[in-house]
């Protein structure tokens, strides 16, 4: 089967600093790929390259046989197929929860308001937040905001979802409610690329683990293999850093 997302020889520099060096990755439809690695290893930058938020210096990112990065005139249109959820939620503070969710369907996809609102409420219901629809983001907890951010990405019917450390800014007791939503998405067969520091979650959700360090993919494999018997010294040391 052809992969839905292909990354070929991706290079990304920040001036003299080589953030990503020759990164290659293929993601199959329905696959959940989790990227782990020490801070500053380039995993978030890599995710941002996948939907063209960062311009790349060499290589290609291909979604459905269409080149996403290096960017082209159609990048705005292609981006709708890639949902992204960020560490800092980034809901629109001047809009209510419902407005946050339907703004892109209305403005970008020119959908009918009634139809978009109906779907928005169903999705909010699914993450247990339909009763918050008329509140503003500031009235919600971090975990609730992040669940709304996930809904806001889902309503665009993306072919692939990117999660960039979505629990890193949350209080510990709120991490679970967000991860459970992500886990349920994985179970229904969504294609996802997830960057996380939650190792137990990575193990539970991943079909494949990618370990990055120094801007390169060092190791990849099935979660059980990676967490039980990492092949490389660097991965071993990284995993040890999570033990007390």
Sign of CA dihedral 27, 14, 81, 183: positive
Site residues for another protein, 68-87, by CB under 8 A, read 76-77, 79-80, 82-84, 86
Strands 58-63 and 5-14: what pairing? antiparallel
Segment (H or E) for 116: helix 113-126
Annotate 216-229 with b (16+ C-beta within 10 A) or e (fewer): ebbbbbebeebbee
Residue from 8, 58, 90, 180 in contact with another protein (CB under 8 A): 90
Span from 30-38, 110-118, 149-157, 206-214 in contact with another protein (CB under 8 A)? 149-157
Contact call for residue 209 and another protein (CB under 8 A): no
Residue from 103, 121, 183, 204 in contact with another protein (CB under 8 A): 103
CA distance 96 to 81: 24
- Shortest approach of another protein to residue 127 CB, angstroms? 17
CA distance 6 to 143: 32
- Shortest approach of another protein to residue 232 CB, angstroms? 32
In the bound state with another protein, the residue whose beta carbon lies nearer, of 7 and 140, is: 140
Three-state secondary structure of 165-211: CCCCCCCHHHHHHHHHHHHHHHHCCCCEEEECCCHHHHHHHCCEEEE
Contact call for residue 157 and another protein (CB under 8 A): no
Span from 119-127, 134-142, 174-182, 197-205 in contact with another protein (CB under 8 A)? 134-142
- Shortest approach of another protein to residue 161 CB, angstroms? 11
Residue ranges binding another protein (CB under 8 A): 51, 53, 76-77, 79-80, 82-84, 86, 88, 90-95, 103-104, 107-109, 136-138, 149, 152-153, 156
């Amino acid at each position: 089967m052809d992969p839905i997302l292909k990354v070929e020889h991706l290079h990304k520099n920040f001036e003299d600093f080589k953030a990503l060096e020759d990164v290659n990755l293929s993601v199959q439809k329905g696959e959940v790929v989790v990227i782990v690695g020490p801070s500053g290893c380039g995993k978030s930058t890599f995710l941002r390259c996948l939907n063209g938020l960062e311009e790349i210096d060499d290589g290609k990112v291909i979604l459905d046989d269409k080149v996403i990065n290096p960017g082209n005139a159609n990048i705005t249109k292609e981006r709708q197929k890639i949902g992204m959820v960020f560490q800092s939620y980034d809901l629109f503070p001047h809009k209510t929860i419902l407005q946050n969710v339907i703004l892109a369907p209305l403005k970008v996809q020119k959908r009918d308001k009634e139809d978009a609102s109906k779907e928005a409420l169903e999705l909010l219901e699914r993450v247990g937040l339909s009763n918050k629809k008329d509140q503003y983001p500031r009235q919600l907890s971090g975990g609730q905001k992040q669940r709304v951010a996930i809904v806001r990405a889902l309503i665009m019917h993306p072919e692939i979802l990117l999660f960039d450390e979505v629990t890193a800014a949350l209080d510990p007791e709120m991490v679970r409610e967000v991860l459970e939503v992500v886990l349920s998405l994985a179970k229904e067969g969504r294609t996802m690329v997830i960057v996380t520091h939650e190792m137990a979650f990575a193990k539970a959700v991943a079909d494949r683990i990618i370990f990055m360090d120094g801007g390169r993919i060092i190791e990849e494999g099935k979660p059980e293999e990676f967490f039980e018997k990492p092949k490389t010294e660097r991965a071993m040391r990284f995993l040890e850093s999570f033990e007390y």
